[in-house]
Amino acid sequence: MLGWALTFFIVAIIAAVLGFGGIAGASAGIAQILFYIFLVLFVVSLVVKLVRRA
């Protein structure tokens, strides 16, 4: 998940440098959504791991 977020972020940077504003904005939005999903899943997995230990 984090790899996909980084991929879309790199695509957004390249598109912004080349002047493709619409593609850059869309890629940055997708990267942001994927990053937040990654963070939520990471926190959930940490909580589940801590609950199973106890």
d(CA 35, CA 29): 10
d(CA 49, CA 54): 9
Residue with tokens 């899943």: 41
Q: Please name the residues in contact with 15: beta carbons below 8 A apart, sequence gap of 6 or more.
A: 21, 23, 24, 27
The pLDDT of residue 20 is 86
- Per-residue pLDDT tens listing for the chain (54 residues): 678 888 888 888 898 888 888 888 888 898 899 899 999 999 999 999 999 987
**The tokens of 35 are what?**
């990053």
pTM: predicted TM-score of the whole model, two decimal places: 0.74
